Amino acid sequence: MTRTVYQAISRIFAVVLAVAGIGLALGGNYAHGFVTDQLSQQKIVMPSGKALTSQDMKDHLEKYADKPMTTGPQAEAFANHYIQAHMNATADGKTYEEVSGEYIACSADNAKKNTAECTALGEARQTLFMGNSLRGMLLNAFGWWLLGTIAIWVGVGALVLAVILAVLGWFVLKPRQASAA
């Protein structure tokens, strides 16, 4: 292929990548803004001090202490290191499915109905259900935040590549001038 063909290809890809890069960066910023708006409306303040009862909580949550939850990484830390820890403590590490199965079996046993054991299982089941629901919502917010971050970085990469191709297409790959002899 000739320099003219490479020049045309570079120019075309420079324009396409610039448009894609701008679109990706704008889309990523929109995702971040949307997640921030939704989390801000919940008015969740990140735990601090005595609420951080384990070293794992302190390691992951102290940097956000007393701040309003507004970002995906905050939502992920809260879901995985605060809510999950409380869920594990409530049911000795058992999942909602395990506790629910025990509660259903206890409730089906007429001799045990309304006993303290069934009541405790029912309360643990309710706590785990609410914890799973909140964790799922927060991790969903984190997922969208992460996709927004990826889109921003891919957009920036596309813009950098667009600049390189533009320089090649408009300045470096100029057709050679025929020399007059």
For residue range 11-39, list pLDDT tens digits in order: 999 999 999 999 999 999 999 999 999 99
Residue 175 has pLDDT above 70, yes or no: no
Residue 167 lies in a domain: yes
* Percentage, residues of the chain above pLDDT 70: 93
pLDDT of residue 86: 95
Residue 46 lies in a domain: yes
Residue 152 lies in a domain: yes
Mean pLDDT of all residues in 129-144: 97
Cα–Cα distance between 166 and 154 in angstroms, integer?
18
Residue 177 lies in a domain: no
Residue 179 lies in a domain: no
Domain of residue 35 covers 3-172
Q: Exposure of 77 by Cβ count < 10 A (0-12 exposed, 13-18 middle, 19+ buried)?
A: buried
Residue 178 lies in a domain: no
pLDDT in tens, 79-121: 999 999 999 999 999 999 999 999 999 888 766 667 888 889 9
Distance set, CA 36 to CA 19, 20, 106, 137 (Å): 26, 24, 43, 14
pLDDT of residue 56: 95
Domain count, the chain: 1
pLDDT of residue 75: 98
Residue 40 has pLDDT above 90, yes or no: yes
